[in-house]
A and B are shown apart, each in its own frame.
Chain A
Amino acid sequence: MGRGERRTALGPDPEKGALTVVREGPCDAAREGPCDAAQEGPCDAARDQARAGLYVHVPFCAARCSYCDFSTGTLSVAKLGRYLDALEREIARRAPPAAGLRFTSVFFGGGTPSAIGAAAFERIARVLAAAFDIAPGAEFTLEANPESVRPALLEAWSAAGVNRLSLGAQSFVPEELATLARIHAAGRPAAALALARAHGFRRLSLDLMFGFPGQTAASWDRTLEAALALAPEHFSAYCLIPEAGTPLGDAVLAGATALPAPEAQAEAYEVLTARLEAAGYGCYETSNFCRPGAEARHNLVYWLRRPYLGLGPSAHGFDGATRYGNHRALQRWAAALEAGAPPEAEVERASEESAAAEAMMLGLRLATGLRPADHPPALRAALERRYGAALAAAVAGGRLVTDGASFRIPRPLRFVADDVIAWIAAAAARARVDSRRACSVPSMPCPSPPSPAA
């Protein structure tokens, strides 16, 4: 536990097989002011608590949103039954190899986990608690859509140990909700949040979306205004990605409707960052903002390249060496498990090269940046060997800043982060070849090996 952290309870309760609520206090970073560029980002305590994640994909939604390409479908009794049975099979398969792993976060995502009833949820939670070693005080998040948040569910979640809710608000402008084909009314998130608070939930997050067709600076302002008024502990804000195969994405790709210009999207991101920071929310990762100490531990697991186990269709997992991705379609995933076959559609063993590339790309999304020291010695060495020169060049060219221990994308470049990351990857690839080539050209002096990152 990091300094300044305060527990209100310890869990899980062995009797109930449930987890109890943990509340965090401010970490070091928070005390020194969330907006200080050198200090923002997930504090050490949060990093420390993000050791291993457990993800459960719930592939059901009441209706499909116009931009959504997730693995989800409408709910039916038959499908739910099949899903639950298959999920149990998958848990039985995956639990033994995960025996040594203590999970510091549990995340129910989807889909809409709140779309399944209390009984189904309880059944999953029970099996999970029995099969896996879940750390006392683990973060337990459930994604909920505002329209489905009801007292009975909240009670069931709370009883099972859920201590964090992530609400899909997306927009507070009715016409925009229609564009996005969100089924909740604009006022619904406020009610859902109030209800959750009344049920003792202290870690609440709102999902927002920007950069979609029809959104304007003024409407974005309205959404931010309304969202901030609800004072959640955490925000996730995503710029729309027009995915082929979704109604909105296809319309954009076909030119039937237009995204706001990149300048307008960038502007929306700047407004977002500025307004949230002014209200005390630090941007600890490209798309995630929180009050001091309220970072989503589960997300940090991904960004810090720590292990996580994924269950359910389209879920992904990583044991530190191998990544897998389950079949996306519920039917295929379930059929495989029913046949006693592996549910994975893809399995990829990390190479030194892919591990270093991941560590670099993931770390740079965090406001605290890429910290080689976050990684085990072998990976740290690979990072320095493969990316040392490129990182130094990126610093020299103003693409990164460094304090010697970490490399960060400066704030003004956050919205072009992928460009920075690709630049570093390309520079590293070039440097590797150049050093080989230079040595094979007789008249050229052989350069000293690239200097490792500070």
Chain B
Amino acid sequence: MSDPRLAHIRNFCIVAHIDHGKSTLADRLLELTHTLSPQQMKAQVLDDMDLEREKGITIKSHAIAMEYVAGDGRTFELNLIDTPGHVDFTYEVSRSLAACEGAVLVVDASQGIEAQTLSNYMLAREQGLAVVGAINKVDLPAARPDDAALEIEHVTGIPAEKVLRMSAKTGSGVPELLEQIVRDIPPPAGDPDAPLRALIFDSKFDQYRGVVALVRVVDGAVRSGDGIRFLSTGKRYEVTEVGRLRLGLEPVETLRAGQVGYVVAGVKTVADARVGDTVGAAQAEGLRPLPGFREVKSMVFSGLYPMVPEQYETLKEALGKLVLNDAALVWEPETSVALGFGFRCGFLGLLHMEIVQERLRREYQLDLIATTPSVEYHVLLESGGLVTVDNPSQMPPAGDIAAIEEPYVLAHVLTPAEYLGNIMKLCQDRRGVFVSLDYLEEKRARVAYRLPLAEIVLDYYDRLKSVSRGYASLDYEFDGYREGDVVKLDILLNGDKVDALSTIIHRDNAYEWGRSLCAKLKELIPRQMFQVAVQAALGGKVVARETIGAIRKNVTAKCYGGDITRKRKLLEKQKEGKRRMKQIGTVEVPQEAFLAVLKVER
């Protein structure tokens, strides 16, 4: 039961499939509650990272507090948490859900329920959140709001007639949504008089403040000068600032039970203020940590290497800083014969990997080589031991291996029924094992397959989109390890094995894969001084070969009448061009080539 002192608070999030209009809806809510002045308004104001604006997706969670005067004249404090929508970031959704009492389920009127609508809804229900259903984009000519409402009813049990119709773009229906939020979402539970307990649902690194932990206060209160402790580590700090989350950080005196805000306490790294941890009063005995968070699990691993070795330290620092902002990123130093010193990084998925690389490039001006992504294998040795291998070059010799287990996922694909055949074929091609099929409504199917994670991480999502003309959607969860007949495929350039290009692959696909990979590498590696043999080998046996012919011409004929400076500058340019390639044995390999495996069509 909620304390009357918390009756005016509503903490909620918006869950939706990507592009169904979460961010746009958030904009409308900010406008209607006068949280932002018209000058501060810009489209999708919460997506503040450049990358988010470009990709049109939300990467980090965001939160913002609003004041809303309801129809009955009461003033409410609304805390909205905008969440990411891509399959790689399901975890971030779960963190923000745990800070809320309710969720607005937004469904695009022309698309209907998609895989993530569903998986997020399930997460919300698991957290016991009250759900408000809303159909968005009713202004579109292709809108089928009634169908969408029926889908929502089918899935959530919310009666179709109770589902709101709105347009986040035009704003119609949004005032009604606000009313429904304060009516149907309960105020927070929690004890304002108990010792402090707050959940960290996100954390950012701020240049001036250090770690800024975004918290939902569950019990008690926190103010500047308080002693706090992080329950998982036991480390103690003194709070230097607390505040609410507006467009920026807005300091306040006290954050009370039920509220969402931030805490600054001189914490230097997020490792000491882990997302999912509980912040408690320093002096209180026997505090129980708050539940509801899922361990982050890296699904994909890849080596990141600086293009030029002098950027190693910069890369190290940059990763250190990104980790402060990105609890899902893990990294440790590694070395490669081909690439020198670099870092092994774990990512949630390929999009996450792409985003991290892109941020390293943009925010730290780093020039990077990423090695072939890999999942983590369990290798059972003849000797009885077990090693985990997430880097193909670390695969023990074939003779030492008793068996290899690979990670599996349970994948749920939602699709219009007409693409079901294509999708099932795709899953089967990817060694999928059929689990279940049901229909959400007549023309919309939900199919579940058990698939090796390795088959999903590379291009599965893109293929899925293409075989379904973009209509199918995907969510997956980790589903344990199973034995698989996988082998290591090596790439040799002029006879030298290139560790960074090795992949682990199912034996049945190895030949074809080897051929395609060689062909791709031939495309990506420029002609060199000497002919280059590109070979794919399985345990020492060459299974595919391509030859890259030698360059024939690269010479400046004239000496520019003694203009040696000009010639030297030309040389400088060519040199830089070469430095953007890695010298591997006798061959110069451009950075794109290391991701050839992602570019192979199959």
Q: Which of A109, A299, A316, A433 contacts B309 (CB 8 A)?
A: A433
Interface centre among A53, A316, A348 (most CB of B within 10 A): A316
Task: Answer yes or no: B154 CB below 8 A from chain A CBs.
Answer: no
Contacts of B440 on A, CB cut-off 8 Å? none
Whether A357 and B568, one on each chain, are in contact in the complex, defined by CB atoms closer than 8 angstroms, is yes
Q: Which of A263, A314, A437 contacts B561 (CB 8 A)?
A: A314
CB distance from A319 to the nearest CB of B (A): 12
Contacts of B563 on A, CB cut-off 8 Å? 316, 325
Whether B562 and A318, one on each chain, are in contact in the complex, defined by CB atoms closer than 8 angstroms, is yes
Whether B571 and A417, one on each chain, are in contact in the complex, defined by CB atoms closer than 8 angstroms, is no
Contacts of A352 on B, CB cut-off 8 Å? none
Task: Answer yes or no: A132 CB below 8 A from chain B CBs.
Answer: no
- Complexed CA–CA distance, A183 and B556 (Å): 26
Whether A263 and B557, one on each chain, are in contact in the complex, defined by CB atoms closer than 8 angstroms, is no
Whether B556 and A423, one on each chain, are in contact in the complex, defined by CB atoms closer than 8 angstroms, is no
Of A172-180, A189-197, A250-258, A408-416, the segment with at least 4 beta carbons within 8 Å of chain B is A408-416
Contacts of A395 on B, CB cut-off 8 Å? none
Per-position 1/0 for B417-449, Cβ under 8 A of A? 000000000000000000000000000000000
Of B78-86, B238-246, B573-581, the segment with at least 4 beta carbons within 8 Å of chain A is B573-581
Task: Answer yes or no: A418 CB below 8 A from chain B CBs.
Answer: yes
CB distance from B496 to the nearest CB of A (A): 12
A423-B529 contact, Cβ under 8 Å, with A315-B561, A348-B565, A354-B568: yes
Task: Answer yes or no: A430 CB below 8 A from chain B CBs.
Answer: yes
Per-position 1/0 for B531-563, Cβ under 8 A of A? 000000000000000000001111111110111
- Complexed CA–CA distance, A416 and B527 (Å): 12
Residue of B nearest to A301 (CB): B562
Whether B564 and A302, one on each chain, are in contact in the complex, defined by CB atoms closer than 8 angstroms, is yes
A239-B557 contact, Cβ under 8 Å, with A302-B562, A427-B583, A437-B341: yes
Q: Which of A239, A299, A399 contacts B559 (CB 8 A)?
A: A299
Whether A325 and B551, one on each chain, are in contact in the complex, defined by CB atoms closer than 8 angstroms, is no
Whether B561 and A109, one on each chain, are in contact in the complex, defined by CB atoms closer than 8 angstroms, is yes
Q: Chain A interface: which size bin? A: 35 or more
Q: What are 7 contact pairs spanning A and B, CB under 8 A?
A: A241-B556, A323-B565, A418-B556, A425-B578, A429-B579, A430-B579, A433-B309
Per-position 1/0 for A49-80, Cβ under 8 A of B? 00001010100000000000010000000000
Per-position 1/0 for B566-602, Cβ under 8 A of A? 0110111011011100010010100000000000000
Contacts of A286 on B, CB cut-off 8 Å? 555, 557
CB distance from B336 to the nearest CB of A (A): 14
Whether A238 and B558, one on each chain, are in contact in the complex, defined by CB atoms closer than 8 angstroms, is yes
7 additional contacts (CB under 8 A) given A357-B572, A433-B309: A238-B557, A287-B559, A346-B565, A422-B574, A429-B575, A433-B310, A437-B309
- Complexed CA–CA distance, A296 and B398 (Å): 64
Contacts of A35 on B, CB cut-off 8 Å? none
Task: Answer yes or no: B381 CB below 8 A from chain A CBs.
Answer: no
CB distance from B54 to the nearest CB of A (A): 32
Whether A419 and B551, one on each chain, are in contact in the complex, defined by CB atoms closer than 8 angstroms, is yes
Q: Chain B interface: which size bin? A: 35 or more
CB distance from A139 to the nearest CB of B (A): 15
Whether B559 and A416, one on each chain, are in contact in the complex, defined by CB atoms closer than 8 angstroms, is no
CB distance from B310 to the nearest CB of A (A): 5
Residue of B nearest to A264 (CB): B552
- Complexed CA–CA distance, A348 and B565 (Å): 8
Contacts of A314 on B, CB cut-off 8 Å? 561
Residue of A nearest to B551 (CB): A416
Task: Answer yes or no: B356 CB below 8 A from chain A CBs.
Answer: no
Task: Answer yes or no: A262 CB below 8 A from chain B CBs.
Answer: yes
Interface centre among B551, B562, B578, B583 (most CB of A within 10 A): B562
Whether A262 and B552, one on each chain, are in contact in the complex, defined by CB atoms closer than 8 angstroms, is yes
Whether A423 and B578, one on each chain, are in contact in the complex, defined by CB atoms closer than 8 angstroms, is yes
Task: Answer yes or no: A228 CB below 8 A from chain B CBs.
Answer: no
A422-B577 contact, Cβ under 8 Å, with A55-B562, A302-B562, A315-B561: yes
Whether A417 and B554, one on each chain, are in contact in the complex, defined by CB atoms closer than 8 angstroms, is yes
Q: Which of A70, A266, A269, A361 contacts B571 (CB 8 A)?
A: A361
A433-B308 contact, Cβ under 8 Å, with A317-B562, A422-B571: yes
Contacts of B579 on A, CB cut-off 8 Å? 426, 429-430
Task: Answer yes or no: A159 CB below 8 A from chain B CBs.
Answer: no
Contacts of A422 on B, CB cut-off 8 Å? 571, 574-575, 577-578
Task: Answer yes or no: B530 CB below 8 A from chain A CBs.
Answer: yes
Per-position 1/0 for B508-545, Cβ under 8 A of A? 00000000000000000000011000000000000000
Task: Answer yes or no: A310 CB below 8 A from chain B CBs.
Answer: yes
Contacts of B567 on A, CB cut-off 8 Å? 361
Interface centre among A241, A413, A418 (most CB of B within 10 A): A418
Residue of A nearest to B580 (CB): A426
Q: Which of A262, A302, A303, A420 contacts B529 (CB 8 A)?
A: A420
Task: Answer yes or no: A434 CB below 8 A from chain B CBs.
Answer: yes
A358-B564 contact, Cβ under 8 Å, with A422-B574, A425-B575, A426-B578: yes
- Complexed CA–CA distance, A238 and B559 (Å): 10
- Complexed CA–CA distance, A406 and B158 (Å): 86
Contacts of A419 on B, CB cut-off 8 Å? 529, 551, 554, 574
Task: Answer yes or no: A362 CB below 8 A from chain B CBs.
Answer: yes
Whether B561 and A55, one on each chain, are in contact in the complex, defined by CB atoms closer than 8 angstroms, is yes
Task: Answer yes or no: B237 CB below 8 A from chain A CBs.
Answer: no
Task: Answer yes or no: B312 CB below 8 A from chain A CBs.
Answer: yes
Contacts of A238 on B, CB cut-off 8 Å? 557-558
Contacts of A299 on B, CB cut-off 8 Å? 559
Whether B564 and A318, one on each chain, are in contact in the complex, defined by CB atoms closer than 8 angstroms, is yes
CB distance from B495 to the nearest CB of A (A): 14
Whether B309 and A430, one on each chain, are in contact in the complex, defined by CB atoms closer than 8 angstroms, is yes
CB distance from A91 to the nearest CB of B (A): 17
Task: Answer yes or no: A142 CB below 8 A from chain B CBs.
Answer: no
Q: Which of A156-171 contact B (CB under 8 A)?
A: none
Contacts of B309 on A, CB cut-off 8 Å? 430, 433-434, 437
Whether A399 and B529, one on each chain, are in contact in the complex, defined by CB atoms closer than 8 angstroms, is yes
A416-B552 contact, Cβ under 8 Å, with A399-B529, A429-B575, A437-B310: yes
Residue of B nearest to A305 (CB): B564
Contacts of A346 on B, CB cut-off 8 Å? 565
Task: Answer yes or no: A421 CB below 8 A from chain B CBs.
Answer: yes
Contacts of A429 on B, CB cut-off 8 Å? 575, 579
Residue of A nearest to B560 (CB): A316
Task: Answer yes or no: A398 CB below 8 A from chain B CBs.
Answer: yes
Whether B564 and A262, one on each chain, are in contact in the complex, defined by CB atoms closer than 8 angstroms, is no
Per-position 1/0 for A266-305, Cβ under 8 A of B? 1001000000000000000011000000000001001101
- Complexed CA–CA distance, A397 and B584 (Å): 12
Residue of A nearest to B567 (CB): A361
Whether A418 and B575, one on each chain, are in contact in the complex, defined by CB atoms closer than 8 angstroms, is no
- Complexed CA–CA distance, A305 and B310 (Å): 31
Residue of A nearest to B585 (CB): A397
Q: Which of A109, A239, A302 contacts B555 (CB 8 A)?
A: A239
- Complexed CA–CA distance, A308 and B562 (Å): 8
Task: Answer yes or no: A1 CB below 8 A from chain B CBs.
Answer: no
Contacts of A317 on B, CB cut-off 8 Å? 562
- Complexed CA–CA distance, A59 and B492 (Å): 55
Whether B551 and A241, one on each chain, are in contact in the complex, defined by CB atoms closer than 8 angstroms, is no
CB distance from B353 to the nearest CB of A (A): 25
- Complexed CA–CA distance, A43 and B228 (Å): 83
Per-position 1/0 for A234-249, Cβ under 8 A of B? 0001111100000000
A430-B341 contact, Cβ under 8 Å, with A262-B553, A317-B562, A357-B568: no
Residue of A nearest to B582 (CB): A430
Task: Answer yes or no: A152 CB below 8 A from chain B CBs.
Answer: no
Whether B561 and A57, one on each chain, are in contact in the complex, defined by CB atoms closer than 8 angstroms, is yes
- Complexed CA–CA distance, A430 and B341 (Å): 13
Per-position 1/0 for A345-373, Cβ under 8 A of B? 01010000010011001100100000000
Task: Answer yes or no: A104 CB below 8 A from chain B CBs.
Answer: no
Contacts of A427 on B, CB cut-off 8 Å? 583
Task: Answer yes or no: A441 CB below 8 A from chain B CBs.
Answer: yes
CB distance from A407 to the nearest CB of B (A): 16
- Complexed CA–CA distance, A237 and B557 (Å): 8
Whether A441 and B568, one on each chain, are in contact in the complex, defined by CB atoms closer than 8 angstroms, is no
Per-position 1/0 for A300-334, Cβ under 8 A of B? 00110100101000111110000101000000000
